[in-house]
């Protein structure tokens, strides 16, 4: 019984560590901000390689800010890096930084 608990705890720890290790910051451009609802719309920028044809605009996504103060540093038209998660069925920004 003790060995099984150890194996399960180890597997859970590895899953948590690898999930956060592979969390990748996305880049995009702010298209609109609604400070009353704490939401922001970001046009995701596709990542491309040197010489590749990719690099244009991706999908437009609306996010709810985890903290309203995150939105104070950015304005429409700013390029940003951000990280988002799904919380309660909606996309929530956990990190937002102006480039």
Contacts of 92 (CB under 8 A, 6+ apart): 63, 64, 65, 66, 84, 85, 86
Both tokens of 32, joined, read 């609109």
Q: Provide, rounded to the nearest whole percent, the portion of the chain with pLDDT above 70.
A: 67
**Higher pLDDT, residue 51 or 82:** 82
Q: Which of the pair, 6 or 91, is modelled with greater confidence?
A: 91
Place of tokens 């939401």: 39
**In the chain, where the domains are located:** 25-98
Summarised one tens digit per residue, pLDDT across range 12-60 is 555 544 444 445 789 999 999 999 999 999 999 876 655 555 455 678 9
**Model confidence at 71, in pLDDT bands (50, 70, 90)?**
very high
- In this structure, CATH architecture of domain 25-98: Beta Barrel (2.40)
The two beta strands, 90-98 and 57-65, are parallel
- Cα–Cα distances in angstroms (integers) from residue 85 to residues 2, 5, 10, 64, 65, in the given order: 34, 29, 24, 10, 11
pLDDT of the residue at 24: 74
């Amino acid at each position: 019984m003790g060995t099984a608990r150890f194996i399960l705890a180890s597997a859970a720890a590895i899953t948590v560590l690898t999930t956060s290790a592979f969390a990748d910051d996305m880049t995009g451009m702010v298209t609109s901000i609604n400070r009353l609802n704490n939401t922001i719309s970001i046009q995701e920028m596709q990542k491309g390689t040197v010489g590749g044809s990719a690099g244009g605009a991706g999908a437009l996504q609306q996010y709810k800010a985890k903290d309203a103060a995150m939105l104070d540093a950015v304005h429409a038209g700013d390029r940003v890096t951000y990280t988002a998660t799904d919380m309660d069925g909606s996309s929530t920004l956990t990190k937002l930084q102006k480039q």
